[in-house]
Amino acid sequence: MGTIKEVKTEYGWWYRSCKDRLCTKSLKDIGGKYKCDGCGAESTEFTPRYKIHLTVVNETESISFIVFEREAQNFLKKSYNELRRDIFENVNI
């Protein structure tokens, strides 16, 4: 059992993912188009998805995790759009 010690924000909180709902892998920008690292699909569009970089500790160890949207929704109960809205509603720009 462990405790979340830190949410690391320096790596960003979202990524461009494949439009295929079953794939969700990240995309590489190849000159105005995107290529999926998972299924190889190419598109000019992407689906934004969030990722959370965490440091978890227990009595003897610490470890870093990346929790992606599909898994994070289980405990955050928010989609990318809901999380983005909440973040920007609480930022004074």
Q: Tell me, what's the pLDDT at 26?
A: 93
| Alpha carbon distance 71, 79 (integer Å) | 11
Average pLDDT over residues 60-86: 86
Instruction: Decide if 78 contacts 50 (C-beta within 8 A).
Output: no
| Alpha carbon distance 63, 24 (integer Å) | 24
The class level of CATH for 3-89 reads mainly beta
Q: Tell me, what's the pLDDT at 20?
A: 84
For the chain, give every domain's residue range: 3-89
pLDDT at 17 exceeding the cut of 90: yes
User: pLDDT tens across 48-70, in order?
Assistant: 888 989 999 999 999 999 998 88
